[in-house]
Protein backbone atom coordinates (compact mmCIF):
# COMPACT_ATOMS: atom_id res chain seq x y z
CA UNK A 1 0.00 0.00 0.00
CA UNK A 2 1.06 3.51 -0.76
CA UNK A 3 1.44 6.27 1.90
CA UNK A 4 3.26 9.28 0.44
CA UNK A 5 5.78 10.70 2.88
CA UNK A 6 4.91 14.36 2.17
CA UNK A 7 1.42 13.87 3.66
CA UNK A 8 0.23 13.73 7.27
CA UNK A 9 -2.27 11.14 8.48
CA UNK A 10 -4.98 10.60 11.10
CA UNK A 11 -5.97 7.47 12.97
CA UNK A 12 -9.35 7.77 11.20
CA UNK A 13 -7.57 7.23 7.85
CA UNK A 14 -7.65 10.73 6.41
CA UNK A 15 -4.61 12.42 4.89
CA UNK A 16 -3.80 16.11 4.62
CA UNK A 17 -1.48 17.94 2.23
CA UNK A 18 -0.58 21.48 3.29
CA UNK A 19 -0.02 24.21 0.68
CA UNK A 20 0.64 27.52 2.41
CA UNK A 21 -2.32 28.36 4.60
CA UNK A 22 -4.54 25.91 2.77
CA UNK A 23 -4.65 22.14 2.64
CA UNK A 24 -6.20 19.28 0.71
CA UNK A 25 -7.88 16.43 2.60
CA UNK A 26 -8.81 12.94 1.47
CA UNK A 27 -8.83 9.34 2.64
CA UNK A 28 -5.91 6.93 2.55
CA UNK A 29 -5.18 4.04 0.24
CA UNK A 30 -5.86 1.74 3.20
CA UNK A 31 -9.28 3.36 3.77
CA UNK A 32 -10.37 3.12 0.13
CA UNK A 33 -9.39 -0.56 0.05
CA UNK A 34 -11.31 -1.29 3.23
CA UNK A 35 -14.39 0.52 1.93
CA UNK A 36 -14.35 -1.09 -1.49
CA UNK A 37 -16.14 0.50 -4.46
CA UNK A 38 -16.97 4.07 -3.49
CA UNK A 39 -20.23 5.33 -4.97
CA UNK A 40 -21.00 8.68 -3.33
CA UNK A 41 -19.16 11.39 -1.43
CA UNK A 42 -21.61 13.51 0.55
CA UNK A 43 -19.99 16.77 1.71
CA UNK A 44 -22.29 19.23 3.48
CA UNK A 45 -19.64 21.40 5.09
CA UNK A 46 -18.53 23.71 2.27
CA UNK A 47 -18.27 27.26 3.64
CA UNK A 48 -18.35 26.05 7.22
CA UNK A 49 -15.65 26.00 9.82
CA UNK A 50 -15.10 22.52 11.16
CA UNK A 51 -13.14 21.69 14.31
CA UNK A 52 -10.42 19.03 14.32
CA UNK A 53 -11.91 15.51 14.54
CA UNK A 54 -15.43 16.69 13.67
CA UNK A 55 -17.36 15.20 10.76
CA UNK A 56 -17.05 17.13 7.47
CA UNK A 57 -18.89 14.66 5.27
CA UNK A 58 -19.65 11.04 4.52
CA UNK A 59 -18.31 8.48 2.10
CA UNK A 60 -20.64 5.79 0.79
CA UNK A 61 -19.32 2.53 -0.61
CA UNK A 62 -21.56 -0.15 -2.11
CA UNK A 63 -21.82 -1.96 1.20
CA UNK A 64 -20.99 0.59 3.86
CA UNK A 65 -21.15 4.20 4.87
CA UNK A 66 -18.42 5.97 6.81
CA UNK A 67 -18.03 9.45 8.30
CA UNK A 68 -15.16 11.71 7.26
CA UNK A 69 -13.28 13.48 10.06
CA UNK A 70 -11.31 16.72 9.85
CA UNK A 71 -7.60 16.16 10.50
CA UNK A 72 -7.20 19.75 11.77
CA UNK A 73 -9.51 22.71 12.43
CA UNK A 74 -10.33 24.85 9.44
CA UNK A 75 -12.89 26.22 7.03
CA UNK A 76 -13.97 24.05 4.12
CA UNK A 77 -13.51 26.22 1.03
CA UNK A 78 -13.99 23.72 -1.77
CA UNK A 79 -15.34 20.27 -2.53
CA UNK A 80 -13.75 18.23 -5.33
CA UNK A 81 -16.62 18.44 -7.83
CA UNK A 82 -15.16 15.65 -9.97
CA UNK A 83 -16.24 13.26 -7.24
CA UNK A 84 -19.89 14.15 -7.83
CA UNK A 85 -19.85 12.29 -11.12
CA UNK A 86 -16.78 10.09 -10.57
CA UNK A 87 -16.67 8.96 -6.95
CA UNK A 88 -14.52 6.00 -8.05
CA UNK A 89 -11.59 8.45 -8.33
CA UNK A 90 -11.20 7.97 -4.58
CA UNK A 91 -10.48 4.28 -5.24
CA UNK A 92 -8.29 4.93 -8.27
CA UNK A 93 -6.23 7.86 -7.05
CA UNK A 94 -6.84 8.50 -3.34
CA UNK A 95 -4.00 11.07 -2.95
CA UNK A 96 -4.43 12.79 -6.32
CA UNK A 97 -7.71 13.25 -8.22
CA UNK A 98 -9.51 11.58 -5.32
CA UNK A 99 -8.95 14.47 -2.88
CA UNK A 100 -12.17 15.45 -1.14
CA UNK A 101 -12.02 18.96 0.28
CA UNK A 102 -9.76 21.97 0.33
CA UNK A 103 -9.60 23.81 3.63
CA UNK A 104 -8.31 27.08 5.04
CA UNK A 105 -6.23 26.17 8.09
CA UNK A 106 -7.33 27.69 11.41
CA UNK A 107 -4.19 26.67 13.27
CA UNK A 108 -1.29 25.45 11.13
CA UNK A 109 0.48 24.15 14.24
CA UNK A 110 -2.06 21.29 14.50
CA UNK A 111 -0.62 19.68 11.39
CA UNK A 112 2.62 18.80 13.15
CA UNK A 113 0.68 16.72 15.70
CA UNK A 114 -0.61 14.33 13.02
CA UNK A 115 1.01 11.04 12.09
CA UNK A 116 3.81 10.69 9.59
CA UNK A 117 3.54 8.20 6.76
CA UNK A 118 5.68 5.71 8.69
CA UNK A 119 3.63 6.06 11.85
CA UNK A 120 0.40 5.62 9.91
CA UNK A 121 1.75 2.62 7.99
CA UNK A 122 2.65 0.88 11.24
CA UNK A 123 -0.82 1.67 12.67
CA UNK A 124 -2.55 -0.10 9.76
CA UNK A 125 0.01 -2.87 9.77
CA UNK A 126 1.26 -2.16 6.27
Is 104 a residue that touches other proteins (CB under 8 A)?
A: no
- Cβ nearer to other proteins, comparing 36 with 96: 36
C-alpha 104/C-alpha 70 separation (Å) is 12
8-16, 34-42, 71-79, 92-100 -> range binding other proteins (CB under 8 A):
34-42
Is 86 a residue that touches other proteins (CB under 8 A)?
A: no
Where do the DSSP E strands lie in the chain?
A: 8-9, 14-19, 22-27, 38-42, 49-50, 55-61, 65-69, 74-79, 101-105
| Interface positions with other proteins (CB under 8 A) | 36-37, 39-40, 42, 58, 60, 62-63, 65
Amino acid sequence: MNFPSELKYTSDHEWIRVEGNQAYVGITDFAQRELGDIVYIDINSVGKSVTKEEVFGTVEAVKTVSDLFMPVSGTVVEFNKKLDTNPELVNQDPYGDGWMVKIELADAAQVAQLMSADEYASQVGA
